[in-house]
Amino acid sequence: MATIYNGVKVTDGITAGVEERKHRGLEIAALAKIEKKDGVYLVPSQTNPKHPKYKVKYHKEHPTCNCPDFHERGCRCKHVYAVEFFRQRELNSDGSETITESVTITKTRKTYPQDWPKYNTAQVNESRHFQELLANLCNGIQNPVQHRPKGGRLSFPLSDAVFAVVSKVYSTQSGRRFVADLNEAKDKGHISELPHYNTIFKFIEKPELFPLLTSLVEKSALPLRNFESQFAIDSTGFAFCRFVRWYDIKYNRFSAEKQWIKAHIFTGTKTNVVTAVEIKERDTADSSQLPALVSTTAKSFNIEEVSADKGYSGQESHNAIAAVGAEPFIMFKDNATGGIGGLFQKMFHFFQFKREDFLQHYHRRSNVESTVSMIKAKFGDSVRSKSEVAAKNEVLCKVLCHNICCLISAMYELGIEPVLTEN
């Protein structure tokens, strides 16, 4: 069997077998979820998803796997290659390595840069930087002109209220600790007044906050515009504390189901910053959100490529990405034929005939999963708010907090000084 690999035609039987395994390995690394547990990589079976995951012990020269292929041949199987590709993907473009650890609370992965001294300094100083950057962002908010009602008091300044609401989500704890943080912010001049606790609860219920927070998310990504050109999109659900109740005839009782909303996230694959976000009801189709997220990002970023899973596949998505001069790397549905012409067909042929090249781009998509894991691990995967308006605002606050944390990492790792006050 002849295989073309890196432009070289390989006809030798044994070598062809190796290349075949590399291909399969790359496919697994791009499409399946590889996890690391107790120093062993768990790789799903490609042919049978119900089969227990294969265990790969990584070693530069002598890796091992517990699959039959490795057992029979004693040399690198497709699972070992998958792990090698997976590890390679975790290598940052600057050559530093990213260590992947499991976060036990949420059972998701979170990536930490290996540069521990810089990472630690960023962590130690995070809350201080957080307040400064958030205050800078809030400074740009226009406070509406107020007229003091007779005998009444002025309502709370909008910029201070936004600062308080976002800080509340950042602190992730209720009550005292958060009040201490706000006191500190007032002492430093980040806010002009100390809001009452109830004011913050009332404020997050306001629908006007939604467009304001959305624009703050977009604005907070701007200092990273020179670092990002490859993007990925995905959606994720956040549960909130309201139940839909209905009468279940079958069981003759009331049933309840937890409500959740869906965040559609567009992220840079290098810094994990969220450049555009849409918060919708739980049942919105993924692909319908793609064009808006692409065009919002394209206003400030130079998009070269966008990767997405097959939930986004379709002519509309391909065309929306092409419209901003970027290339779409969207996984095709199993029944796709490509016979509809245009860019969709072109990319489908690319996928069919240069699968390895295609997958090299496509596997950047896993970075959007990292972004989602980072947000949920740090700020929680459910919201405290009970109304849908407040729940949507709260999710936007989580995304904004994540972006500010990305800026803080970038200050230490990329040496940037984020400027957020310009309009």
Residue 104: both structure tokens together: 């036990």
Residue 352: both structure tokens together: 């069919």
Matching residue, tokens 């419209």: 323
Smallest gap, in angstroms, from Cβ of residue 363 to Zn ion?
19
What phi and psi values does residue 243 have, to the nearest 5 degrees?
-110, 145
> Cβ closer to Zn ion: 73 or 177?
73
Encoded amino acid at 355, one letter: R
Smallest gap, in angstroms, from Cβ of residue 50 to Zn ion?
17
> Cβ closer to Zn ion: 47 or 93?
47
Smallest gap, in angstroms, from Cβ of residue 65 to Zn ion?
3
Residues 40-79 that bind Zn ion (CB under 5 A): 54, 65, 67, 70, 77, 79
Rounded CA-CA distance 258/151 in Å is 44
Residues 71-130 that bind Zn ion (CB under 5 A): 77, 79
**Cα→Cα distances 329→36, 192, 204, 343, 364, Å:** 26, 48, 37, 11, 9
Q: Helices (DSSP H) in 209-252: which residue ranges?
A: 209-221
Helix/strand/coil percent split, the chain, to 5:
45, 20, 35
> Cβ closer to Zn ion: 79 or 365?
79
Query: For residues 176-203, b (16+ Cβ closer than 10 Å) or e, as one string?
Result: eebeebbeebeeeebbeeebeeebbeeb
Contacts of 17 (CB under 8 A, 6+ apart): none
Rounded CA-CA distance 52/49 in Å is 8
> Cβ closer to Zn ion: 65 or 165?
65
DSSP class of residue 97 equals B
Smallest gap, in angstroms, from Cβ of residue 54 to Zn ion?
5
> Cβ closer to Zn ion: 21 or 264?
21
Smallest gap, in angstroms, from Cβ of residue 81 to Zn ion?
9
Residue closest to 87 by CA, chosen among 62, 59, 61? 59
> Cβ closer to Zn ion: 79 or 402?
79
Smallest gap, in angstroms, from Cβ of residue 68 to Zn ion?
8
> Cβ closer to Zn ion: 74 or 95?
74
> Cβ closer to Zn ion: 51 or 245?
51
Smallest gap, in angstroms, from Cβ of residue 71 to Zn ion?
8
DSSP class of residue 242 equals E
Rounded CA-CA distance 356/17 in Å is 16
# residues contacting Zn ion (CB under 5 A): 6
Smallest gap, in angstroms, from Cβ of residue 292 to Zn ion?
42
Q: Fill in the per-residue mask, 23 to 42: x = in contact with Zn ion (CB under 5 A), - = not in contact.
A: --------------------
Smallest gap, in angstroms, from Cβ of residue 47 to Zn ion?
12
Residue 53: both structure tokens together: 């995951």
Encoded amino acid at 334, one letter: D
> Cβ closer to Zn ion: 54 or 351?
54
Rounded CA-CA distance 383/381 in Å is 7
Q: Is 102 exposed, middle or buried (0-12, 13-18, 19+ CB in 10 A)?
A: middle
Smallest gap, in angstroms, from Cβ of residue 15 to Zn ion?
19
> Cβ closer to Zn ion: 79 or 89?
79
Please, are residues 233 and 263 in contact by the beta-carbon 8 Å criterion?
Answer: no
Listing from the earlier edge strand, what are the strands of the sheet with 35-37? 35-37, 40-43, 54-57, 64-65
Smallest gap, in angstroms, from Cβ of residue 74 to Zn ion?
11
Interhelix angle 315-323/342-353, nearest 10 degrees = 100
Q: Fill in the per-residue mask, 317 to 356: x = in contact with Zn ion (CB under 5 A), - = not in contact.
A: ----------------------------------------
Partnered with residue 43 across adjacent β-strands are 54
> Cβ closer to Zn ion: 45 or 136?
45
- Name the site residues for Zn ion (rule: CB under 5 A): 54, 65, 67, 70, 77, 79
